[in-house]
Amino acid sequence: MPWYFRLLFVVLLAMFFVLQYRLWVGRGSQAEVYRLEQQIERQQVRLADMQDRNEKLRAEVQSLKDGLEAVEARARLDLGMIKEGETFYQIIGPDNPVPDRAAQ
């Protein structure tokens, strides 16, 4: 076999190993592609959660802009406000008894 066939075989074999290295280990390898695909999936799930949250916030802002019912509900819930003419009752269960003031 002539020497140039051997040289061509060695060059092709070296190129094969270099390409295999890049395929499995180097930049753009299968492992890197898999890792990036996993990262994309995580980001898509996070994006969907954030879009849901934004939609809820957008609806809440719109209801606060449009109607007084939402403002009233917010004032009752957050500030403990009551309407004029309403009577506020606080019910205390057995888990949280009122401290006896006479015992102090």
Kindly report, residue by residue over 25-78, the tens digit of the pLDDT: 777 778 888 999 999 999 999 999 999 999 999 998 888 788 788 778 878 878
Burial of 29 (0-12, 13-18, 19+ CB in 10 A): middle
Question: ∠31-35-39 over CA atoms, to 5°?
Answer: 170
Q: What whole-number distance in Å separates Cα of residue 79 and Cα of residue 88?
A: 13
pTM score, two decimals?
0.48
Question: Helices (H) and strands (E) in the chain — how many of each?
Answer: 3, 0
Most confident range (mean pLDDT) of 5-19, 57-71, 82-96 is 5-19
What would the two tokens of residue 14 be?
């070296």
